Chains A and B, each alone.
Chain A
């Protein structure tokens, strides 16, 4: 490059060509839907664990009815609590 070349002029022309490149470009934006903060992550995981534990415990402490369906048996409450504890511990 000769020293008498106008630096800005050369760069300006180059940047004009870059504008043309930009016009033909394709820029895409994608978004990850993740929980917004670690705290929310922890809450979300804890809620899932609790839901699984309670669901499993209820299923285990339900007794079959003659019509083939299952119904909660309140007399099994202490067993249910014990089962919840056991399942929670095994998951955690």
Chain B
């Protein structure tokens, strides 16, 4: 009665393939970084990657091109990361290969990068979202629309967050 069919969905796969970079970056921004990456970190990245990907797949039919596709991906991805959505039942599974997780772990283990991420971990949701859009070069106008603020306010908050990050002491220094 209950059948499990596995088949590749080309359109959804191509959407994910094109934006895997953004999903990985949002995962790196939102999954807390430990002193050294643990099995737990890896599992959380894998889970968040899946949740973001599933949300993208489900929201894709509703995307009407109101903004650029990459902005839309950033928006969905950060919303998922902030709300920490968890599903109990899903009709799709998205799998990211282990080699990618290995490379992501190696890349994020770089000392400078890890220290930066540990500072980012201490930002609040809005600040982290702003930094994600800033580094992702999402157009200011679109960020303003997503966050319901004026462009000037966004510019000001981005600058303030950047200063906060720059002046933040590393946690072991405190």
Contact = CB atoms under 8 A, between A and B. Distances in A.
A34 interface: yes
A11 B166 contact: no
A24 B98 CA distance: 12
Interface residues of B, number: 48
- The residue among B91, B99, B134, B162 with the most chain A CB atoms within 10 A of its own CB is B91
Contacts of A36: 91
Interface in A22-69: 22-36, 44-45, 48
A2 to B, nearest CB: 10
Nearest to B17: A27
A8 B107 CA distance: 16
A44 B107 CA distance: 49
Interface residues of A, number: 32
Nearest to B94: A29
Given A3-B167, A25-B97, A27-B13, A19 B110 contact: no
15 contacts: A1-B115, A7-B116, A7-B165, A10-B112, A15-B25, A15-B136, A21-B107, A22-B24, A25-B100, A27-B16, A27-B94, A28-B13, A29-B16, A30-B95, A34-B2
B7 A31 contact: yes
Contact of B100 (A1, A15, A26): A26
B13 to A, nearest CB: 5
Nearest to A11: B135
Given A18-B21, A22-B20, A29 B162 contact: no
A32 B91 contact: yes
